[in-house]
Amino acid sequence: MNTASLPLPGWITYGLIPLINLVLAFFFSGLVVWFIGENPFDALALMLEGALGSGEGIGFTLYYATNFIFTGLSVAVAIHAGLFNIGSEGQAYIGGLGAALVALALDRYVPWYVTMPFAIAGAAIFGAAWAFIPAFLQAKRGSHIVITTIMFNFIGAALMVYLLVNVLIVPGKMAPETRTFLEGGQLPKLDWLMALFGLKLGPAPFNVSFLIALAMCLVVWLLVWRTKLGYEMRTLGISPTAAVYAGIPYSRTVIIAMLISGGLAGMMALNPVLGASARLQVEFVGGAGFVGIAVSLMGRNHPAGIILAAILFGILYQGGDWVSFEMPNITREMIVVIQGLVILFAGALEYMCRPALARLYYSMAKRGV
């Protein structure tokens, strides 16, 4: 029986299947932990304690989640237009340059709330610019966007190292980073938000970027499901030929979708650069762009799903640090293993369980359950 065309109710497609995939990913992660001789349940308990057991832990968890919301949205917008933007990493890196240049220019003269809109614009414009060439090549020359965005990640990394080592470095210092921004170039922490819940933030770098990220979730939702452009993007994503036949301009839509995607990726830089370290450092993105792929896949490319998935990955990142501290046998890279398994099961093997579930569902429906 060919089950691919049989319709399934929403709660199976959007609830049960993602849940099963997630459980499988964590089951295999647990196997890896067990294989290296640690108790997976102890590791899980430690992870939750580290990520959610204190105000500081929650602050770090949400700080990481902020990064992943931005990059997850970036990947999701592109996916809706049928484009796989693997370059969020590089776009965020270059976005950091835009944000840092704004902070360096303004921090002496104005308070943070004046700097912030310019920094957002700077980060978004630089991120979008880095997405433009791959987008243009895809739209006009038919070059595969996956390949070009991978290439641009490497080109961006080389460019940023060059700029930080040779141009932006503080004269006389060894570390390849800019000077520390003054208060006018820093995004304030959200102590007050944590205090509302009776929690103390401590040294965790949880900052205003989180609120910007939430606002962007709303913007993306409106854009994708409530505007003409979003409709055009989704049509293009489902069937480029149908979209072109319906009069939707292919090149324009591809380029605009990628510019939005790159802009969102670039805005991720606000969180670590202006919110946490108050300076531009080498490799500050630290793989968040790639986590965005996992977050977007897991969140079914929907902002609400992306927030949940980003928080889950925030828990993994913060809790993972805690676990590696308490169980030296499990290194921090265990997070990367889990990330790979989530991408595998929630992405590549997305429909592995579908035929079996469809058969089960229809045999139960036939019996009149």
Partner 1 sequence: MDLFDILVSILGSTIRLSVPLVFTALAGLFSERAGVFDIGLEGKMLAAAFAAACAAYVTGSPWLGLLAGIGVSVAFSILHGFASITNRGNQIVSGVAINFFVAGLTIVLGQAWFGQGGRTPQLPPDGRFSPIILPGADALRGVPVVGPLYANVISGNNILTYMAFLAVPISWWILYRTRFGLRLRAVGENPGAVDTAGISVTWLRYRAVICAGILCGFSGTYLAVAQSAAFIKDMSAGKGYIALAALIFAKWKPVPVMFACLLFGFLDAFANFMQGKAIPGIGEVPVQIFQALPYVLTCVLLAGFIGVARPPKAGGVPYTKER
Rounded Cα distance between 62 and 214, Å, is 12
The overall longest dimension of the chain from CA atoms, in Å, is 79
- Between 149 and 253, CB nearer to partner 1: 149
Q: Which is nearer to partner 1, 275 or 299 (CB)?
A: 299
Q: How far is the CB of 3 from partner 1 (least distance, A)?
A: 12
Q: Quick check: helix, strand or coil at residue 144? A: coil
Smallest gap, in angstroms, from Cβ of residue 322 to partner 1? 16
CB 310 to partner 1: min, Å: 17
Buried b (16+ CB within 10 A) or exposed e, 314-348: bbbbbbbbbbbeebeebeeebbebbbebbbbbbee
Nearer to partner 1, 64 or 152 (CB): 152
Residues near partner 1 (CB under 8 A) are: 2, 4, 32, 36-37, 84, 86, 133, 137, 141, 143-144, 146-148, 150-152, 154-155, 158-159, 161-162, 166, 290, 293-294, 297, 329-331, 333-341, 343-344, 347-352
Whole-number Cα distances in Å, 297 to 56, 219, 325: 28, 19, 29
Contacts for 126 with CB less than 8 Å, ≥ 6 apart: 94, 95, 96, 97, 98, 99, 266
In angstroms, the CA 89 to CA 285 distance is 7
3-state helix, strand, coil in the chain (%, to 5): 75, 0, 25
Choice between 212 and 323, CB closer to partner 1: 323
∠ Cα 48 50 51 (to 5°): 65
Q: Smallest distance, Å, CB 155 to partner 1?
A: 5
Using the minimum distance from each CB to partner 1, give the nearer residue, 43 or 190.
43
- Least separation in angstroms between residue 291's CB and partner 1 is 9
Which CB, 292 or 314, lies closer to partner 1?
A: 292
Q: State the minimum distance, in angstroms, from the CB of residue 343 to partner 1.
A: 4
